[in-house]
Amino acid sequence: MHTRTKIIIVIVTLIIISGAVTVLLFKPWEEYIATSENEPQQQERRGNTAGNIANIGRVAQDGEWIYFSSLIHESIPGIPVSETTPLGHLRRKRVDGDESELLFLVPPLVPESINVMGDWLYFVTMDGIHRMRIDGSHKEMILGCADTQPYISRIFLAENWLIFTLAADIHSVRESNLYRMSIDGETQERISNINPASITVADGWIYYADRDKNQAVYRIRTDGTERMRLSNSEARGRIIVDDGWVYYSDFTDDISIFKIRIDGTEHQQVVARTSHEWTDAGFNIFDGWIYFSSYLSDGIYRIRTDGTDRQKISDGFGREISIIDDWIYYRPGYDTDIFSPLYRMRKDGTERGQVR
C-alpha closest to that of 154 among 246, 57, 223: 57
Judge whether 238 lies within some domain.
no
275-289 pLDDT, tens digit each: 445 545 679 999 999
pLDDT score recorded for residue 150: 65
Judge whether 152 lies within some domain.
yes
310-339 pLDDT, tens digit each: 999 998 888 889 999 999 999 887 655 666
Mean pLDDT of 103-109: 78
**DSSP state letters, 233-246:** S-EEEEEEEETTEE
CATH of the domain at 176: 2.120.10.30
187-224 pLDDT, tens digit each: 999 998 888 888 999 999 999 999 888 889 999 999 99
The β-bridge partners of 268 are 259
Judge whether 110 lies within some domain.
yes
Judge whether 63 lies within some domain.
yes
- Rounded distance, CA 305 to CA 325, Å? 18
Judge whether 241 lies within some domain.
no
**DSSP state letters, 99-147:** -EEEEEEETT---EEEEEETTEEEEEETTEEEEEETTS-S-EEEEE-TT
Q: Do the strands 196-202 and 228-231 form a parallel or antiparallel pair, or are they unpaired? A: unpaired
Is the pLDDT reported for residue 353 higher than 60? yes
C-alpha closest to that of 121 among 182, 166, 183: 183
Residue 154 sits in which domain range? 46-193
Judge whether 181 lies within some domain.
yes
Continuous segment of H or E residues that includes residue 232: none
Judge whether 199 lies within some domain.
no
pLDDT band per the 50, 70, 90 thresholds, residue 82: low
Is the pLDDT reported for residue 177 higher than 60? yes
pLDDT score recorded for residue 80: 57
What is the number of structural domains in the chain? 1
Judge whether 333 lies within some domain.
no
- Rounded distance, CA 209 to CA 212, Å? 9
